[in-house]
A and B are shown apart, each in its own frame.
Chain A
Amino acid sequence: MTASNTRSLPPYALALDMEASKQDGASPLITMPFGNKVQGRPGFLHGGAISGLLEMAAIAAIHTALAKQGDDAPIKQVNVTIDFMRGGKSETTYAAGVITRLGRTMANVSAHAWQDDPGSIIAQAQMHYLISRGKDGQEA
């Protein structure tokens, strides 16, 4: 696997037809089209699918931030808290991650998801990740 923000999405994300688009200098934007595989109650997204999108956005954000430091350290998720604010409608959903702090051993990351209106967030999540850096890893 390459150490960049072109790193491919995991099989689970690909199975749900998620795509990562490279954004210059920013965290990748992850998109998820609406379809049967991500539907919960009829016409709405399943909360688990929204959560998956948020996790992928967070992971992509960390890999991008690490790549900027020239690092390809493996990461391990410790936990996640998801707030669901609006029902996800039957349309494409977008998500992006924000790194609050990238330290030597852990990262505090949040991610938010929206649909047609970027100002109208449907869900957000906070996660903690462990970072297994090599000896040359840099303190953020």
Chain B
Amino acid sequence: MPSAALGQWQTTSHNALAEIEAAHRAVGGHGRGRRYATLQINHAYTVMVSSRFQGFCRALHSAAVDVLATATQPANVAVVLRSALMQGRKLDFGNPSPSNLGADFGRLGMAFWDEVRALDARNDARKDRLEELNEWRNAIAHQDFARVGGRDLLHLGSVRGWRAACDALAISFDRAVGMHLGRLVGRAPW
């Protein structure tokens, strides 16, 4: 059984992203006008994939902290543990970059990326795609494309590739965090 965070990613977030796909298909016309409109949609799609994936990762982290705090006694210590594990959480302010993910989940005692890689060797390449997604997200948000080759040109296929990487990583994150918590508290957390 997946976490509630993964459930939301696979339903609510997928539905929202499907609406962007539908908007892309709905753009009519030909030539430069259509290319400009679809480029703007591709940019919006990129930001949305990144922000939705950030929401998933943040929710997974919240759920993990709740599992650890629930397994901690006395309750006075549990609430202090909650504050310590969440203070300055990078996912509250920053992109779901490999570095931020490793730092936030590392605070739970995980060798995060080692455990994610151990589940599926393809996660190494997906991690690179996640980094690329976040570089594009920043380029679009700041309208500074120097770090992504100096051009704002972005094709739908690229965004779909990043989204597919996020889909696969979400499943591995959910499993890796669940297995780690299971080892810590002695039972499957979800």
Q: Do A and B come from one complex?
A: no
